[in-house]
């Protein structure tokens, strides 16, 4: 199995790239954001909990996210050539939990691919996306800046987690979609 953690601040292009890479390499894309949005839209108990955090630009608690992820992995494991984890892990506790979960399935994270984009470009991208996405967290510049700040304070530390395992790969997240896909593919092809 090839298992990729696709990493980057909000607006870096993770969802766009994950959609392309999953098809190219026959991987299952697990986006915690998509799963949260589905639950929020359908007003499930998980959705209500997640919404209270997301609306403030904060992270959803680990235990909720980890349980949800385990169910998603189990649902697709028999048909998967691997997974792209988009929006997960976001903390060292989540990274440890992901390692333990994959170890139980006799596999592991092969690479963390980090899309790096300047903050002002991120804000511009998210405000533009907010015009069509219907997502409240993409329409308010203060919430966007807080999401980016939370990313740097609470999640960027995972760079060190994966660097110590020699699994961290930095990718320039600016350019055409095709250029960025090509940079990501270079990494995956070497795994």
Binding residues: 11-16, 32, 37, 58-60, 87-90, 94, 129, 135, 147, 175
Give the residue numbers of the binding site for ATP: 11-16, 129, 175
Is 170 an annotated catalytic residue?
A: no
Nearest to 85 by CA among 189, 174, 1: 1
8 Å CB contact between 53 and 60: yes
The token pair that represents 102 in the structure block: 């994959």
Active site residue 14: yes
Q: Of 49, 105, 129, 167, which residue is the catalytic one?
A: 129
H or E element, residue 51: helix 45-54
Q: How many CB atoms lie within 10 A of CB 62?
A: 16
Q: Residues 49, 105, 135, 167: which is the catalytic one?
A: 135
Q: Residue 171 pairs with which residues in a beta bridge?
A: 115
Binding positions for AMP: 32, 37, 58-60, 87-90, 94, 135, 147
Residues 150-170: b if buried by 16+ CB within 10 A, e if exposed: bbeeebeebeebbeeeebbbb
Catalytic annotation, pick one of 51, 90, 125, 183: 90
Of 22, 51, 125, 147, catalytic: 147
For residue 129, indicate whether it is catalytic.
yes
Active site residues: 14, 90, 129, 135, 147
């Amino acid at each position: 199995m090839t298992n990729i953690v696709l990493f980057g601040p909000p607006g870096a292009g993770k969802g766009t790239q994950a959609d392309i890479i999953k098809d190219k390499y026959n991987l299952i894309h697990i986006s915690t954001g998509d799963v949260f949005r589905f639950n929020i839209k359908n007003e499930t108990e998980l959705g209500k909990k997640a919404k209270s955090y997301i609306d403030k630009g904060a992270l959803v608690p680990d235990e909720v996210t980890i349980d949800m992820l385990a169910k998603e992995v189990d649902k697709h494991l028999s048909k998967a050539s691997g997974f792209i984890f988009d929006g997960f892990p976001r903390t060292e506790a989540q990274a440890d939990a992901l390692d333990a979960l994959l170890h139980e399935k006799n596999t592991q994270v092969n690479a963390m691919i980090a899309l790096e984009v300047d903050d002002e470009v991120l804000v511009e991208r998210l405000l533009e996306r907010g015009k069509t996405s219907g997502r409240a967290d993409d329409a308010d510049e203060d919430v966007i800046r807080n999401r980016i700040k939370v990313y740097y304070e609470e999640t960027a530390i995972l760079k060190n987690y994966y660097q110590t395992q020699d699994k961290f790969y930095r990718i320039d997240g600016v350019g055409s979609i095709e250029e960025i896909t090509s940079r990501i593919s270079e990494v995956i092809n070497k795994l």
